[in-house]
Amino acid sequence: MSYFDAASAAPLHAVARQALTASLDEGWADPARLYREGRRARMLLDAAREATAEAVGCRADELVFTASGTSAVHSGIAGALAGRRRAGRHLIVSAVEHSSVLHAAEVHQAGGGTVTEVTVGRTGAVSPSGFAAALRPDTALACLQSANHEVGTVQPVAEVAASCRAAGVPLLVDAAQSLGWGPVEGAWSLLAASAHKWGGPPGVGLLVVRKGERFAPQGPRDERESGRAAGFGNLPAIVAAAASLRAVRAEAAEEEVRLRELTERIRARVPGLVPEVEVVGDPERRLPGIVTFSCLYVDGETLLHELDRAGFSVSSGSSCTSSTLTPSHVLRAMGVLSEGNIRVSLPPGTREEDVERFLAVLPEVVAGVREKLGAPVSTGEAVSRPGEDTALVVDALGRRCPIPVIELAKVIGDVPVGGTVRVLADDEAARLDIPAWCEMRGQQYLGEEPAPGGTSYTIRRLT
């Protein structure tokens, strides 16, 4: 089995396993106690904090360990907003932040605060000038991920941090995806990350708050971790997280070159191997191991199951793979195709032969799924017959994507150039996938309007 979902959770690094096993014998006591076992545990905790702070690029007394990356994000946002309540209650986030950031923003807004979502382009990156334009006199905090978790696009953190610093606004960076590859550049104020993203054990997050930043921890106070993370920490896991971070950093330069070559191979060859594919994310400014693409006329959930049967563990942002049945908020913000979406995220140590086997298996798997769904073999080549109507209506109400898009593709050639097709659909994914299909196929998307039972999407044939 080839595990290609390191962006969700990286396999436990060998050094983490060794450190975890060793510290189970030495780090079980309460590090706040003064007896021998407590002092020994305290030494392990202090050493882990020093090592992690060095890797992050901060002072040891600026860093606390939390129960998860999500906990670090939530505590960081809540504490920073509370600490700057006199400045205002305006929060800025990008439209492609991790759900932990967006959920915290929802809570802030429900409590009377205001939130601005900064849009992104088709590569998934914010514009530094666009982010700067969102800053206001009452902005209390801004949040920007260092790199996107779904498409791998690296964000212009240094430029955004400079704008925030000039405006006197702290910037919180979610560095979960990138910290294993190197420190985050720029004058950021707060940083959150999660150990299981770099090969450490799950259940360990970290939160950094720079000295001088106004910060008021929320919830009942605890004497541990500077009052910013309550409860008895999992010291063996913390030690393992710190050890694995140092280990992956030592291997990062060599692994980055190797994984970039492998992901570039996937990016370059998939469009030639599989028809009707859109590779998404920035082609240059991206993390080494992530490559994401979307296949037209494919059910994402079925595609994941078939790849799993073929021996590959991958993930997807397609609506049919989520419990909400809505497209990934990242793909939606980018305005790219969501159906048949596949994210391949290679862990360190991925073998070249496994990538080659994936490229060999993928075309057959996609073709099989398309055949089951009755997708067209080719599109846009039919010639309109004289006397046909210049408008067609496709009733796809009650049918989930990609069926509405498949039905559109089947009939677009049955109207003359300049004619229109109206697709009736009630699946939320159609709002994203039909315009994306038009862009991929060179057709004109005219817009949407309410229709009985759903929405009507109008497309004009150009080619």
Is-catalytic flag, 295?
A: no
Sign of CA pseudo-dihedral 164, 192, 320, 405: positive
* Other CB atoms within 10 A of residue 371 CB: 11
Q: How far is CA 170 from CA 26, 76, 124, 136, 154, in A?
A: 38, 11, 23, 13, 20
Active-site residue identified among 164, 320, 401, 438: 320
d(C-alpha 406, C-alpha 372), whole Å: 12
d(C-alpha 396, C-alpha 380), whole Å: 20
Contact of 378 with 365, CB cutoff 8 Å: no
Give buried/exposed letters for 163-187 (b at 16+ CB in 10 A, else e). bbeeeebbbbbbbbbbbbbebbebe
Kind plus residue range of the DSSP H or E element containing 447? strand 444-451
d(C-alpha 291, C-alpha 307), whole Å: 16
All residues at 6 or more sequence positions from 258 whose CB lies less than 8 Å from its CB, including other chains: none
Kind plus residue range of the DSSP H or E element containing 377? none
Q: Specify burial of residue 22 (Cβ count, 10 A radius: 0-12, 13-18, 19+).
A: middle
Beta bridge partners of 171: 142
Q: How far is CA 348 from CA 14, 199, 352, in A?
A: 12, 9, 12
Length of the chain, in residues: 463
Q: Which two tokens stand for residue 17?
A: 């396993």
Which residues are marked as active site? 320
